[in-house]
């Protein structure tokens, strides 16, 4: 599929909408459209999804609920949590916790409330993250660097620190960290984001080794661009650039990310830990 390039200027919402619609149409008519969902068995499992009130996090929560799990949505946006719970509760038990993931005490409190609500914690999906502002490394605002590292790296560490003892008590656990292809390739003008996601990959590998004999497996996913409303904020030129790096010539869908995560959360994922799963439409080279 070819998209028209705009040599200058920020695209209007209408232009971005047309690009996104075109990409969605290409996806829906392909041989890989996700109209039929393979069943993953997560019955009796209790899951946490951080950043679960919207976007990829909500799609993951939806898939876990459809697979039989009870799901706790952790997010800092209380209004979004209320809306997400109202939408998802028809699929199964939903617990919510408004939590700042950069505050260890708040994360520990959320873990205790989730364990009390479900009686156990079996699954942790560390999905929450931010991109930060774009700039050259030597021109970057140190405060922005610290904020990205704090949310993208310290947040998953705090969640693991608070949740793993519950998994060890039950002798079972599945942890999935959402990293990024940027953590493997390094995106220009996004050193903080790239560094944080590279660190999440390393955290995954270390944790996987530490928990290898405990019944708890830890893996991560490294997506390229997943289609969300954030594309509406980008210029047509940047959208075209990102698309040009993906051999499948389309962006990923939230449902595709959720499908991979659901399998990684299942008992079928039993001899894989400390692994990195690319979700890049062929962009990844190693």
User: How far apart, in whole angstroms, are the C-alpha atoms of residue 101 and residue 50?
Assistant: 9
How far the first Cα of the chain sits from its last, in Å, is: 25
User: How far apart, in whole angstroms, are the C-alpha atoms of residue 160 and residue 152?
Assistant: 13
How many angstroms separate the Cα of 215 from the Cα of each of 16, 135, 168, 174, 231?
A: 45, 42, 8, 9, 39
Task: Please say if 172 is a catalytic residue.
Answer: no
DSSP H or E run through 218? strand 216-223
User: How far apart, in whole angstroms, are the C-alpha atoms of residue 20 and residue 229?
Assistant: 9
Per the CB < 8 A criterion, the answer to whether 247 and 283 are in contact is yes
**Annotated catalytic residue within 158, 172, 193, 286:** 193
Instruction: Report the SS3 class of residue 48.
Output: strand
Residues with a catalytic annotation lie at: 193
């Amino acid at each position: 599929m070819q998209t028209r390039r705009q040599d200058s200027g920020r695209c209007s919402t209408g232009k971005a909408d047309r690009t996104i619609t075109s990409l969605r149409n290409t996806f829906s008519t392909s041989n890989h459209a996700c109209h039929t969902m393979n069943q993953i068995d997560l019955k009796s499992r209790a899951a946490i999804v951080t950043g679960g009130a919207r976007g990829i996090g909500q799609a993951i929560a939806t898939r876990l609920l459809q697979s039989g799990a009870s799901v706790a949505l952790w997010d800092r946006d209380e209004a979004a949590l209320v809306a997400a719970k109202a939408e998802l509760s028809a699929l199964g038990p939903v617990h919510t916790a408004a939590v700042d993931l950069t505050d260890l005490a708040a994360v520990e409190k959320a873990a205790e409330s989730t364990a009390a609500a479900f009686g156990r914690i079996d699954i942790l999906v560390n999905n929450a993250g931010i991109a930060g502002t774009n700039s050259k490394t030597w021109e970057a605002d140190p405060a922005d660097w610290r904020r990205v590292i704090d949310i993208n790296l310290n947040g998953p560490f705090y969640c693991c620190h608070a949740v793993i003892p519950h998994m060890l008590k039950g002798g079972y656990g599945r942890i999935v960290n959402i990293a990024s292809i940027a953590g493997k390739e390094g995106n220009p003008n996004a050193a903080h984001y790239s560094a944080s996601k590279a660190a999440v990959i390393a955290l995954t590998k270390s944790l996987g080794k530490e928990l290898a004999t405990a019944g708890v497996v830890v893996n991560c996913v490294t997506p390229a661009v997943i289609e969300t409303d954030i594309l509406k904020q980008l210029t047509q030129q940047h959208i075209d650039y990102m698309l040009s790096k993906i051999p499948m010539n389309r962006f990923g869908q939230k449902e595709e990310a959720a499908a991979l995560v659901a399998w990684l959360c299942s008992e079928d994922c039993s001899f894989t830990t400390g692994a990195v799963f690319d979700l890049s439409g062929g962009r990844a080279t190693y």
